[in-house]
Amino acid sequence: MRARGPGDRQVEARTGQLAAVEGRISPQDLGLRNDTQVEAFRRINRFLVAQGTVPGVQLGHGGRKASTGQPWKGGAPLAPDAGGGRPVAPSPLPFAEGLAVPDELTVDQIRLIVRQFADAARRALAAGFEVVEVHGAHGYLINEFLSPYSNHRTDAYGGDHDNRTRFALEVVDTVREVRPQDKPLFFRIPATEWPADGGWSADDTVRLAADLHAHGVDLLDMSTGGNVPGARIPVEPGYQVPFAARVRAETPMPVAAVGLLTEPAQTAKILLNSEADAVLLGRELLRDPYWAQRAARELGGEVHRPAPYHRSA
């Protein structure tokens, strides 16, 4: 679930600087832009809690990947009359040939986006989300600032490592200020760009992980890629786990492993070998919504079942 915050049209009423700018990837993305949406999520989250689960939300900005159609309909850039807008980015560099050239963000716009992350986090808290994850990976806005591949700025938000990570840390700081200390804050990071000459590296990730821990992030969600089109990624079961293991070994940051983790025994081995503190599943749960029950059965554990499902025990 991704909440639209930065660049939304609510801001247009307060400032002309971000007029017609969209932070959503597609017009169909969920958001936390107003109190009406907060109340809608509050009802959903009350139900989730009553069923024994913990609601969480991912907050992000699409950056130069924003204002496109639904992926299953081709994901092409959308004109304003189709619900799209002008994408923004650290530098005026399109993600790939044929995609829109984004507008380069001004410093004032960057600061506004940081505040909007805080606004979205504040609404997430009011809506009953127990966990918030800041999406800093997969070629979206925060990732675009991190990588010298997509960030060619020469001001305080570009150039060396400290400048390129400044925006990410400012977002984390403002979101952390909103979140009570007992409410977890996660950060999704691109561990590598596989590799791109001059791109974000595993060494960069280790360095940023330590900084994120110092700034109050509770867990690092270790993904890879997404900012360099055509990157050659050696996709295989557990292919991203070594990055999580390295960060866990070299920093105090707790980490979660992701990516082609499909079998209960596979995920249990990752935890037993101390390669990660948690495993996160996405697409596998779409393929198998009862994965947790299968894992409990195969590994000899138990999982909570909502009352209407008691007969499935």
Q: How many CB atoms lie within 10 A of CB 300?
A: 7
Can you read off the two tokens belonging to residue 40? 């809608």
The whole-angstrom separation of Cα 35 and Cα 33 is: 7
239 catalytic residue (yes or no)? no
**23 Ramachandran zone, left/alpha/beta (phi>0; psi -120 to 50):** alpha
CA distance between the termini of the chain: 29
The full 3-state SS of 27-44, as one line of letters, equals CCCCECCCHHHHHHHHHH
* Helical (H) or strand (E) element with 264: helix 264-272
How far is Cα 253 from Cα 185, in angstroms, rounded to an integer?
Answer: 12
7: CB partners within 8 A, 6+ apart: 18, 21, 22, 23, 24, 61, 66, 85, 88, 113, 116
Strand partners, 77: 68
The Cα-based distances of 145 to 19, 45, 48, 191, 223 in angstroms read: 21, 32, 35, 14, 17
The torsion angles phi and psi of 282, rounded to 5 degrees, stand at: -125, -80
Q: What is d(CA 224, CA 207) in angstroms, rounded to the nearest whole number?
A: 16
Tokens of 272: 């037993």
Catalytic residue annotation: 140
